[in-house]
C-alpha cells in the first residue's frame, strides 16, 4: 500500500469539512461525483491520485506536492499507453479521470487568433488542438507546446473534471499531454476559462 494515498485521503476528508460550493450547488452531490471518480479508478494508482488531486482542487486545498506526484504518475502511465499503441492510431478523447488516449497535434497557435505558435510573441499564450477533437490552452507560452510540431503523435490523459460548476457548464477539464517526438509535456485545461468563468 502507498502511504501517500492514505495521507492524501486524509487531506481530502479535512478539506471537505470547510468546503462551500461556489455556485450554490449541493455539497454532498459534488462530493458524491468526486468519490465516484475515485472509485472508478479501482486499483490504478495514477488514476486514484488524479481523482484525489481533483477533489482537493475542488475543495480549494491542493498542496503542490500532490500535483507533482500526480504528474509523475500520470506521465508514466501516458508513456505506458504509448507503448501499447506503437502505430499511434488515434483514440477517442478520454472521458474519465485517469484515462489516456493516443492522438496527433492538429494545430499549434497563440491563445487568441490564428498566429502560429512558433512565431507568436511569448505573451500571446499557447493553444493546440488534437486530431481526436481535444485541445489545450494556456495564457503562458508553454515550453512543451513550443517544442512540438503539427502532426506529431501525443498521448493525452484526463486528470481533472470540474465538479463545482454551474448547470450545463463543463469547461475546464485538465489534461496531461506528452509529445512522443519532442518529449515535451504539459498539463493544461481544455478552455481559457474554468466553468463559471467569463
pLDDT band at 127 (very low <50, low <70, confident <90, very high): confident
Q: Give me the pLDDT at residue 111, please.
A: 78
What mean pLDDT comes out for the span 20-49?
A: 94
**Per-residue pLDDT tens for 138-173?**
888 788 988 999 999 999 999 999 888 877 777 789
Q: What is the mean pLDDT of residues 41-60?
A: 96
φ, ψ of residue 193 in degrees (nearest 5): -125, 145
Average pLDDT taken over every residue of the chain? 90
Residue boundaries of the structural domains of the chain: 3-69, 87-189
The pLDDT value recorded for residue 193 is 65
Flag whether pLDDT at 22 surpasses 80: yes
| Residues 6 or more apart in contact with residue 126 via CB below 8 angstroms | 108, 109, 110, 111, 117, 136, 137, 138, 140, 141, 142, 145, 146
- Reported as a single tens digit per residue, the pLDDT across 172-194 is 899 999 999 999 999 999 987 67
Contact of 190 with 163, CB cutoff 8 Å: no
Main-chain dihedrals φ then ψ at residue 10, nearest 5 degrees: -65, -40
pTM of the model as a whole? 0.90
* Element containing residue 14 per DSSP (H, E): helix 3-17
Alpha-carbon distance of 112 to 114, in angstroms, equals 7
Determine the pLDDT at residue 196: 64
Q: Phi/psi at 45 (nearest 5 deg)?
A: -60, -40
Report pLDDT for 171: 75
pLDDT value of position 61: 81
> What is the tens place of the pLDDT at every residue in 54-97?
999 999 888 999 999 999 999 999 999 999 999 999 999 999 99
pLDDT of residue 163: 86
Q: Looking at the predicted structure, is the pLDDT value of residue 45 above 80?
A: yes
- Tens-digit pLDDT profile for residues 97-122: 999 999 999 998 877 767 666 766 66
Amino acid at each position: 500500500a502507498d502511504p501517500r494515498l492514505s495521507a492524501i485521503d486524509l487531506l481530502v476528508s479535512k478539506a471537505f469539512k470547510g468546503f462551500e460550493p461556489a455556485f450554490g450547488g449541493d455539497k454532498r452531490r459534488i462530493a458524491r461525483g468526486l468519490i465516484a471518480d475515485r472509485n472508478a479508478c479501482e486499483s490504478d494508482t495514477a488514476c486514484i491520485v488524479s481523482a484525489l488531486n481533483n477533489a482537493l482542487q475542488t475543495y480549494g486545498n491542493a498542496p503542490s506536492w500532490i500535483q507533482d506526484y500526480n504528474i509523475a504518475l500520470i506521465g508514466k502511465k501516458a508513456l505506458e499507453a504509448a507503448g501499447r499503441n506503437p502505430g499511434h492510431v488515434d483514440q477517442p478523447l478520454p472521458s474519465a479521470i485517469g484515462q489516456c488516449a493516443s492522438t496527433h497535434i492538429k494545430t499549434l497557435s497563440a491563445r487568441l487568433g490564428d498566429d502560429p505558435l512558433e512565431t507568436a510573441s511569448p505573451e500571446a499564450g499557447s493553444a493546440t488542438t488534437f486530431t481526436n477533437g481535444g485541445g489545450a490552452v494556456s495564457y503562458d507560452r508553454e515550453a512543451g507546446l513550443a517544442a512540438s510540431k503539427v502532426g506529431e503523435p501525443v498521448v493525452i490523459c484526463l486528470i481533472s473534471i470540474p465538479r463545482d460548476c454551474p448547470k450545463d457548464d463543463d469547461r475546464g477539464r485538465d489534461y496531461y499531454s506528452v509529445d512522443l517526438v519532442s518529449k515535451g509535456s504539459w498539463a493544461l485545461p481544455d478552455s481559457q476559462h474554468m466553468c463559471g468563468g467569463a
